C-alpha cells in the first residue's frame, strides 16, 4: 500500500480519547456505570412525544434552515432572552449545532486562529484541548486549586488564583473557556475573569453582565432535557461573532436534523411557559438531582472517600487517597487514576472516569488521586450497589 | 478558519429566499416534498419507544446495529469483508463525511482534482483544509444531428486532459456519481481511467455516492472502490437522507480501509463527536429490511427510481415544449436544461457581470413563479462563463408540484 498517505498535521497527537478508551470497558453489562455523563432515567414524556409527532409530518423529515430550525431558534431566543434579560435575535445571534460539542467546534474554528492562545481552566471537559489544537492554537492551562484545611469539601472550595490567572493572559490570548456549572461557578471568580477579558480584549465563552459582546454561550438540549442521544446544542452570542460560527456550520455540517429540532422547540416552549414554577423541568430536574447528589455524597463519605460536593452539574469528584489502593502490579505508564479506574472496573465492577483526562501534563500530579462519578442515574439499583462495591474496598484500608 | 472564507452559498440563500418571496413552485433545492417510505417512519417510531438508551449517547463512530448492517450491505456489493468497527464511520450527513475526509487527508499545499460540474461544497472544503483545487470539466461530446434528447451520458472527460491534471502534488480526486447537477452515472470504463491514474500517481479518491440508488434507463451504479487497487485509496460516502428520502435526518457515512478511516474518526471526534442514536437505529432497521429485499420489486431501492423515472420523463418533455433543451439524466435527483434557445429578452434584467443563468433563474422565479438553480454555481470561477447557459431542476417532487410546474411551462410555451 501507499506510504505517503498518513494523517494530516492538524490531527497530530489527537488520537487518544478517554471516552473511546473507557466506554467499551464500562459497556460490560455487569459493570455499574457511573462514568460517562448520561442519564439512565427517561427524558420527560412530552419531549419524546414531540419527536414522534414531528417525525410524522412530511416536511419535518426534510432539510430545514441551516443555522437552526425556525421554531427552535425562536424558542431559544425566548428562553434565553428571559435568562439574559435582553432581546436575542433568533436569526443572527443563535446557531443550532450537533450537540454542545458542535458549538464548541464551530466557535473554535470560527474565532480562533493559528498562533492564538486559549486559556483553559483545569479540570476541563477533555475536548477543549484537542479542539484548540486542531484550530492551530495553543492551549494555556491554569489549574483550580483547593483551599486547604476543610472537612467537607464543596466545589466552592476550589478557586482560581487571581495573580496566576492574570499571568496567563498575553498579547496572543484570543479566548478563555469557562465551563459552568461544574467545579467553577462562584460569581466573584467569574467577575475576575470578566475583568481580565475586558482588559486584554479577549473573547470569553460564558456570559456575565457587560460581557455580551465578547461571549459565546454554549448549551445542550441533551443535557437540558436528558436526551444526550439527540445531539443537539446551540451557541448564542453577538452577531459579529456568531456570523463566523455560522460560516463554519455552512462548511462542515450545513444543517442539523429537523425532527429533533422541532421536538426540542416544543420542549422549550412548554417549559418557557412554566419558567419560575416548580413544574418547570429546568427546576424539577435540578431538585431531583440534588437528592441523588446528597445520597451519593453520603455513602462516599461513609466509605471513607471524601467527595467534592458539586454546586452544579451532574458529576462528583472523589478523592481515592484514603483507600491507599496498591496498584504497583499495573505496569502501564499511566497516571494513578487511570490505573485505579481500570482496576475498579475489573475488580469492583464499578466504572468511573479518571480526572487526569481533564487536565494537562503539568497538573497530573495534583489531580491523579481523583475519579469522577456521575449521579444522574436511577435511584433504585445503581447507587446502593455502588455503595456496596465501595464498602468492599474498605476492609483493605481498615484491616 | 472562517476569516479567509467568505460566507459561501450566498447564491443558495438568495435564490431560496427569492423562491419563498414569490411563492414559486420550487424545483430548486434538492429534497423530496413527499414523505419518506412508511417502513422508515415506522422504524423511527419503534426506535423512539425503545428503552432509555435510544435517547442517550451511543457508540462514537456509529451505532453498532447501523455500522454492522452498513458493513454487511456494502460488503456484499463490493465483494469484500468490511469491518463495521474499523472501516465505517457514521456522520452528520454525507456533508460531514466529506468534511472529515478533507480534514483528515488533505494537507496544506496538496492539490485536489474536482470534476466539474461539482456539488459546490467541495471547493470551500478543500480550501479550508489548506488544499488547492484543480478543475477538469465534463463536456458534452459532439452528437449527430437529430439523434434524440441529449443525455448526461454524453458528457465525458477527456482522458488526456484528465491525465494532465495529475502531478506529484496531487493528493486526491473527488468524483460524484450519480452526479449533481448533471445526473451522469459513470460507466466502469470511465471509472477505470480514473482508477488507473490514481494508482499510477498514488492518489486518493473521494467518491460521493449519495444518489447511488437512483439510476434510470438500466444504467448501473458502479463503485470505484470495487476496482482493483482502489479499496485502500477510496473513501466512499453515502447518505441516509438521500437513500430513504429523509434528508432532514442528516445521517451519512464514510467507508474506506482502516488506515484512512482512523484519521477521519479523529476529525469526527473533534468536531461532532457522535450522531443521534434514534435515527441511527431507524436507518439500521431500514437497511436490514433492504438487505433482505435487495434486487426484488419490493425493495425501496427499486421502487424509488422506478417512480422517479416517470417524473423525469414528464419534466423533460414540458421543458422541451417551453423551449428549453433538457439533458436527460442517467441518475440522481436533478436535470439540467440549456436555456440558449429560450425566447426571452433578459438584457434589461441582468446586473452587470452576472452570468446568464443567474439572470434567467431570477426572471423565471419572479415572472413565472418557477424556482430553479443556475448551473454555473457548480463550476469554478475560471469556467463559470463557459457553462452559464444551463439551469438545474429537481424532479424528486410530488406529482402536484410537478403538475404545477408543468402548467407554468405549458402556459409559457403557449405565449411563445
Q: Which of A366, A287, A371, A282 is nearest to A325 (CA)?
A: A371
Greatest mean pLDDT among B198-207, B309-318, B406-415 lies in B198-207
| Beta-carbon count within 10 A of A222 CB | 26
ipTM over 0.85: yes
Instruction: Give me the pLDDT at residue A380, please.
Output: 38
Which contacts (CB < 8 Å, 24+ apart) does range B164-167 have? B165/B113, B165/B134, B165/B136, B166/B113, B166/B197, B166/B200, B166/B201, B166/B203, B167/B111, B167/B201
Average pLDDT taken over every residue of chain A: 84
| Separation in Å, CA of A324 to nearest CA in chain B | 34
Q: Which of A19, A42, A31 is nearest to A377 (CA)?
A: A42
- The residue in chain B having the minimum alpha-carbon distance to the alpha carbon of residue A243 is B7
B272/A55 touch (CB, cutoff 8 Å), yes or no: no
Percent of chain A whose predicted confidence (pLDDT) is above 70: 89
| Separation in Å, CA of A53 to nearest CA in chain B | 9
| Separation in Å, CA of A389 to nearest CA in chain B | 24
Instruction: Give me the pLDDT at residue B319, please.
Output: 94
Cα gap A294→A375, rounded to integer Å:
10
Mean pLDDT of all residues in B247-262: 96
Instruction: Give me the pLDDT at residue B279, please.
Output: 97
| Separation in Å, CA of B95 to nearest CA in chain A | 6
Instruction: Give me the pLDDT at residue A98, please.
Output: 96
Contact at 8 Å (CB) between B330 and B217? Answer: yes
- Residue of A62, A231, A257 with shortest CB distance to B274: A231
User: A200 vs A121, A188, A206, A214, B177, CA distance in Å?
Assistant: 17, 19, 16, 11, 51
| Separation in Å, CA of A66 to nearest CA in chain B | 10
B142 interface with A at CB cutoff 8 Å: no
B128 interface with A at CB cutoff 8 Å: yes
Cα gap A137→A140, rounded to integer Å:
10
Query: Hey, which residues does A374 pair with through a beta bridge?
Result: A315
| Separation in Å, CA of B186 to nearest CA in chain A | 26
- The residue in chain A having the minimum alpha-carbon distance to the alpha carbon of residue B128 is A251
Q: Which of B217, B219, B246 is nearest to B396 (CA)?
A: B246
Instruction: Give me the pLDDT at residue A385, please.
Output: 54
pLDDT score of A93 more than 90 = yes
The residue assigned the cell 456519481 is B177
| B residues 275-294 lying closer than 8 A (beta carbon) to A | 275-279
B58 interface with A at CB cutoff 8 Å: yes
pLDDT score of A332 more than 90 = no
Give the per-residue SS3 of B386-412. HHCCEEEEECCCCHHHHHHHHHHHHHH
B249/A41 touch (CB, cutoff 8 Å), yes or no: no
The string of pLDDT tens digits covering residues B52-104 is 889 999 999 999 999 999 999 999 999 999 999 999 999 999 999 999 999 99
pLDDT score of B316 more than 90 = yes
pLDDT score of B142 more than 80 = no
- The residue in chain B having the minimum alpha-carbon distance to the alpha carbon of residue A377 is B52
Mean pLDDT of all residues in A193-210: 70
What are the chain A neighbours of B259 within 8 Å (beta carbons)? 1, 5
pLDDT score of A391 more than 60 = no
B54/A1 touch (CB, cutoff 8 Å), yes or no: no
The string of pLDDT tens digits covering residues A314-326 is 888 888 988 888 8
Contact at 8 Å (CB) between A110 and A84? Answer: no
Mean pLDDT of all residues in B152-166: 97
Instruction: Give me the pLDDT at residue A104, please.
Output: 94
Instruction: State the pairing for strand pair B139-140/B155-156.
Output: antiparallel
The H or E element spanning position A335 is none
- The residue in chain A having the minimum alpha-carbon distance to the alpha carbon of residue B99 is A252
* Residue A209 banded pLDDT, cuts 50, 70, 90: low
> pLDDT higher for A210 or B22?
B22
Q: From the candidates B269, B333, B396, which should be mutated to test the interface with A, based on the most A CB atoms within 10 A?
A: B269
Instruction: Give me the pLDDT at residue A246, please.
Output: 94
Average pLDDT taken over every residue of chain B: 93
B269 interface with A at CB cutoff 8 Å: yes
The string of pLDDT tens digits covering residues B230-254 is 999 999 999 999 999 999 999 999 9
B272/A105 touch (CB, cutoff 8 Å), yes or no: yes
Residues contacting B141, CB < 8 A, separation 6+ = B154, B155, B156
Instruction: Give me the pLDDT at residue A394, please.
Output: 32
Instruction: Give me the pLDDT at residue A255, please.
Output: 94
Instruction: Give me the pLDDT at residue A158, please.
Output: 82
| Separation in Å, CA of B290 to nearest CA in chain A | 20
Instruction: State the pairing for strand pair B25-26/B139-140.
Output: unpaired
A244/B96 touch (CB, cutoff 8 Å), yes or no: no
Greatest mean pLDDT among A98-107, B12-21, B339-348 lies in A98-107
Stated pTM of the model: 0.91
A36/B232 touch (CB, cutoff 8 Å), yes or no: no
Instruction: Give me the pLDDT at residue A387, please.
Output: 53
B259 interface with A at CB cutoff 8 Å: yes
Instruction: Give me the pLDDT at residue B3, please.
Output: 46
What are the chain A neighbours of B60 within 8 Å (beta carbons)? 17, 19-20, 23
* Residue B349 banded pLDDT, cuts 50, 70, 90: low
Instruction: Give me the pLDDT at residue A267, please.
Output: 94
Instruction: Give me the pLDDT at residue B405, please.
Output: 95
The string of pLDDT tens digits covering residues A343-361 is 988 888 888 999 999 999 9
B9 interface with A at CB cutoff 8 Å: yes
- Range scoring the smallest mean pLDDT among B269-283, B334-348, B385-399: B334-348
pLDDT score of A338 more than 50 = yes
* Residue B7 banded pLDDT, cuts 50, 70, 90: very low
B48/A20 touch (CB, cutoff 8 Å), yes or no: no
User: B207 vs B95, B101, B118, CA distance in Å?
Assistant: 12, 10, 12
- Residue of A23, A229, A243 with shortest CB distance to B276: A229
Cell of B319: 421543458
The string of pLDDT tens digits covering residues B32-50 is 999 999 999 999 999 998 8
| B residues 326-345 lying closer than 8 A (beta carbon) to A | none
Amino acid at each position: 500500500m501507499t506510504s505517503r498517505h498518513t494523517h494530516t498535521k492538524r490531527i497530530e497527537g489527537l488520537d487518544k480519547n478517554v471516552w473511546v478508551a473507557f466506554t467499551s470497558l464500562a459497556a460490560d453489562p455487569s459493570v455499574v456505570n457511573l462514568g460517562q455523563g448520561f442519564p439512565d432515567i427517561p427524558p420527560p414524556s412530552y419531549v419524546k412525544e414531540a419527536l414522534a409527532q414531528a417525525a410524522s409530518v412530511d416536511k419535518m423529515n426534510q432539510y430545514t434552515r441551516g443555522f437552526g430550525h425556525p421554531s427552535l431558534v425562536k424558542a431559544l431566543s425566548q428562553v434565553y432572552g428571559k435568562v439574559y434579560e435582553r432581546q436575542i435575535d433568533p436569526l443572527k445571534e443563535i446557531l443550532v449545532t450537533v450537540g454542545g460539542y458542535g458549538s464548541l467546534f464551530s466557535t473554535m474554528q470560527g474565532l480562533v486562529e493559528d498562533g492564538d492562545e486559549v486559556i483553559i481552566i483545569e479540570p476541563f471537559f477533555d475536548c477543549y484541548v484537542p479542539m484548540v489544537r486542531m484550530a492551530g492554537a495553543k492551549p494555556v492551562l491554569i489549574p483550580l486549586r483547593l483551599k486547604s484545611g476543610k472537612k467537607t469539601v464543596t466545589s466552592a472550595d476550589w478557586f482560581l488564583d487571581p495573580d496566576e490567572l492574570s499571568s496567563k493572559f498575553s498579547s496572543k490570548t484570543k479566548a478563555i473557556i469557562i465551563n459552568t456549572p461544574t467545579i467553577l461557578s462562584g460569581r466573584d471568580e467569574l467577575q475576575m475573569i470578566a475583568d481580565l477579558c475586558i482588559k486584554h480584549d479577549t473573547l470569553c465563552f460564558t456570559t456575565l453582565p457587560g460581557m455580551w459582546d465578547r461571549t459565546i454561550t454554549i448549551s445542550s438540549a441533551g443535557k437540558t432535557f436528558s436526551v444526550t442521544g439527540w445531539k443537539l446544542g446551540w451557541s448564542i452570542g453577538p452577531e459579529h461573532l456568531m456570523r463566523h460560527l455560522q460560516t463554519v456550520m455552512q462548511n462542515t455540517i450545513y444543517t442539523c436534523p429537523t425532527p429533533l429540532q422541532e421536538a426540542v422547540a416544543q420542549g422549550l416552549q412548554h417549559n418557557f411557559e412554566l419558567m419560575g414554577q416548580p413544574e418547570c423541568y429546568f427546576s424539577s430536574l435540578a431538585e431531583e438531582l440534588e437528592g441523588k447528589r446528597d445520597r451519593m455524597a453520603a455513602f462516599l463519605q461513609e466509605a471513607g472517600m471524601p467527595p467534592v460536593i458539586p454546586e452544579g452539574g451532574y458529576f462528583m469528584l472523589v478523592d481515592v487517597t484514603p483507600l491507599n489502593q496498591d496498584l504497583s502490579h499495573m505496569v502501564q505508564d499511566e497516571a494513578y487514576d487511570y490505573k485505579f479506574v481500570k482496576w475498579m472496573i475489573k475488580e469492583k465492577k464499578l466504572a468511573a472516569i479518571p480526572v487526569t483526562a481533564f487536565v494537562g501534563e503539568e497538573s497530573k500530579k495534583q489531580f491523579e488521586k481523583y475519579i469522577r462519578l456521575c449521579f444522574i442515574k436511577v435511584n433504585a439499583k445503581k447507587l446502593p450497589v455502588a455503595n456496596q462495591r465501595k464498602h468492599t474496598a474498605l476492609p483493605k484500608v481498615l484491616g | 478558519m472562517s476569516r479567509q472564507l467568505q460566507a459561501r452559498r450566498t447564491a443558495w440563500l438568495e435564490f431560496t429566499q427569492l423562491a419563498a418571496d414569490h411563492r414559486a413552485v420550487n424545483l430548486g433545492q434538492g429534497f423530496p416534498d413527499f414523505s419518506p417510505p412508511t417502513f422508515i417512519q415506522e422504524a423511527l417510531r419503534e426506535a423512539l419507544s425503545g428503552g432509555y438508551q435510544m435517547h442517550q449517547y451511543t457508540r462514537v463512530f456509529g451505532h453498532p446495529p447501523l455500522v454492522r448492517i452498513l458493513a454487511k450491505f456494502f460488503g456484499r456489493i463490493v465483494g469484500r469483508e468490511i469491518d463495521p468497527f474499523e472501516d465505517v464511520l457514521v456522520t452528520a450527513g454525507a456533508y460531514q463525511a466529506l468534511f472529515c475526509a478533507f480534514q483528515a487527508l488533505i494537507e496544506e499545499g496538496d492539490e485536489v482534482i474536482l470534476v466539474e460540474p461539482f456539488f459546490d461544497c467541495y471547493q470551500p472544503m478543500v480550501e479550508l483544509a489548506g488544499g488547492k483545487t484543480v478543475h477538469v470539466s465534463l463536456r458534452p461530446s459532439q452528437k449527430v444531428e437529430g439523434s434524440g434528447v441529449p443525455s448526461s451520458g454524453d458528457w465525458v472527460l477527456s482522458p488526456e486532459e484528465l491525465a494532465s491534471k495529475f502531478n506529484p502534488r496531487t493528493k486526491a480526486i473527488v468524483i460524484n456519481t450519480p452526479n449533481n447537477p448533471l445526473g451522469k452515472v459513470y460507466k466502469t470504463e470511465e471509472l477505470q481511467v480514473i482508477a488507473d491514474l490514481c494508482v499510477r500517481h498514488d492518489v486518493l479518491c473521494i467518491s460521493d455516492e449519495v444518489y447511488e440508488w437512483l439510476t434510470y434507463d438500466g444504467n448501473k451504479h458502479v463503485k470505484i472502490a470495487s476496482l482493483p487497487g482502489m479499496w485502500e485509496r477510496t473513501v466512499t460516502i453515502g447518505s441516509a437522507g438521500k437513500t430513504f428520502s429523509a434528508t432532514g435526518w442528516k445521517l451519512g457515512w464514510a467507508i474506506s480501509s482502516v488506515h484512512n478511516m482512523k484519521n477521519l474518526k479523529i476529525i469526527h471526534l473533534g468536531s461532532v463527536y457522535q450522531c443521534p442514536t434514534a435515527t441511527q437505529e431507524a436507518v439500521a432497521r431500514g437497511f436490514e429490511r433492504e438487505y433482505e429485499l435487495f434486487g426484488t420489486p419490493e425493495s425501496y431501492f427499486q421502487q424509488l427510481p422506478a417512480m422517479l423515472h416517470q417524473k423525469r420523463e414528464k419534466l423533460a418533455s414540458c421543458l422541451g415544449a417551453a423551449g428549453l433543451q433538457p439533458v436527460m439524466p442517467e441518475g440522481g435527483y436533478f436535470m439540467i436544461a440549456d436555456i440558449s434557445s429560450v425566447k426571452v429578452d433578459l438584457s434589461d434584467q441582468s446586473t452587470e457581470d452576472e452570468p446568464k443563468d443567474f439572470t434567467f433563474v431570477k426572471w423565471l422565479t419572479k415572472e413565472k413563479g418557477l424556482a430553479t438553480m443556475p448551473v454555473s454555481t457548480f463550476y469554478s470561477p475560471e469556467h463559470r462563463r463557459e457553462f452559464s447557459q444551463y439551469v438545474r431542476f429537481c424532479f424528486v417532487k410530488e406529482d402536484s408540484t410537478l403538475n404545477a410546474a408543468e402548467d407554468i411551462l405549458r402556459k409559457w410555451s403557449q405565449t411563445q
